[in-house]
Chain A
Amino acid sequence: MMSREEVISDKMDWVTVALYIAIVFLGLLNIYAVTYDRESDISIFNLTINSGRQLLFIAGAFVIIMAILIIDMRFYETFAYIIYGLVLFLLLLVPIIGKEVGGNKAWLGIGSFGVQPSEFAKFATALAVGKYIGSVGFRMDRIRNQAILFVLIGAPMVLILLQKDTGTALVFTAFTVVFFREGMSPFLIIAGIIGAIIFVLTLMVNQYYLYTAVGMILVISILMGRKKLKRIALLTLGAIAICGIIISVDYVVSDVLKPHQQNRIKALINPDADPLGFGWNVTQSKIAIGSGGLLGKGFLQGTQTKFNFVPEQSTDFIFCTIGEEHGWVGSLVTMALFVGLLLRIIFLAERQKNRFAHVYGYSVACIFFFHFAVNIGMTIGLFPVIGIPLPFFSYGGSGLWGFTILLFILLKLDVHRMQVLQRI
Chain B
Amino acid sequence: MNEGRKEIIQITFVLVGVIFLIKLFFIQVVDDRYAQLADSNAILREVDYPVRGLIKDRNGKLIVYNTPEFDLLIIHKEVKGFDSTRFCEVFAMTPADLRLKFNELKAKREYSPVKPTIFLTQLSTLDFAKIQDNIDEFQGFYIQARTTRAYREHAAANAIGYVSEISKDRLSRDKTGIYKQGDYIGQSGIEAYYEEYLRGQRGVRFKYRNVDGVEKGSFRNGAIDTLSIPGQDIISTIDLDLQSYGEYLLKGKSGSIIAIEPSTGEVLAMISGPSYDPTLLTGRHYSSNFVLISNDTNKPLFNRPLMAQYRPGSIFKIAQAMVALQEGVITEQTRIRCDRSIIDCHGPHSNEDLRGAITHSCNPYFHGVLRRMLNQGVSTNTFDDTRAGLAEWSKHISSFGFGARLGIDLPNEKGGLVPDPAYYDRAYGGRPWKFSNIYSIAIGEGENLVVPLQMANFAATIANKGFYITPHLVKAIGATGKPLPQFLEKHYTTIDSSYFRVAADAMEKVVEEGTGQYRAKLKDVIVCGKTGSVQNEPRPDHSVFIAFAPKNNPKIAVSVYVEFSGQGARAAASIASLMIEKYLYGATKRPQIEAYVLRGEFLN
A residues neighboring B (CB under 8 Å) = 37-39, 177, 180-183, 284, 286-294, 303-304, 306-309, 323-324, 327-328, 331-332, 335-336, 338-339, 342-343, 346, 350, 362, 365, 369, 372-373, 376-377, 380, 382
Contacts and interface: CB of A to CB of B under 8 A. Distances in A.
A38, A304, A306, A365: which has the most chain B beta carbons within 10 Å? A304
Contacts, number: 120
Contacts of A286: 27, 34
B107 interface: no
A291 B37 contact: yes
Contacts of B31: 290
Which of A284, A307, A382 gathers most chain B CB within 10 Å?
Answer: A307
Q: Which 7 A-B pairs have the closest CB atoms?
A: A290-B34, A307-B210, A291-B38, A303-B42, A339-B17, A290-B27, A308-B211
Nearest to B1: A183
Given A303-B38, A304-B38, A309-B41, A339 B13 contact: yes
A284 B25 CA distance: 17
Given A181-B9, A304-B42, A338-B17, A328 B23 contact: no
Contacts of A327: 28-29
Nearest to A331: B24
A346 B28 CA distance: 31
B209 A307 contact: yes
Interface string B1-30: 110011001100110110111011101110
B217 interface: yes
- Main DSSP-derived SS at the B contact region: helix
9 contacts: A286-B34, A287-B37, A290-B28, A291-B39, A307-B209, A328-B21, A335-B17, A365-B9, A377-B20
A289 B29 CA distance: 10
Given A289-B34, A291-B35, A342 B13 contact: yes
Contact of A309 (B2, B14, B20, B211): B211
B460 interface: no
Interface residues of B, number: 37
A180 B38 CA distance: 43
Contact of B14 (A284, A306, A339): A339
Nearest to A38: B217
B216 interface: yes
B10 A343 contact: yes
A332 B6 contact: no
B424 interface: no
B136 interface: no
Contact of A293 (B2, B20, B23, B35): B35
A346 B24 CA distance: 26
Contacts of B23: 380, 382
A290 B33 contact: yes
Given A291-B38, A303-B208, A324-B38, 6 more contacts: A180-B9, A287-B38, A290-B38, A306-B216, A309-B210, A365-B13
B43 interface: yes
B212 interface: yes
A211 to B, nearest CB: 30
A163 to B, nearest CB: 28
A307 B208 contact: yes
B9 A335 contact: no
Nearest to A380: B23
Given A287-B37, A307-B208, A308-B212, A323 B2 contact: no
Given A307-B210, A335-B21, A287 B34 contact: yes
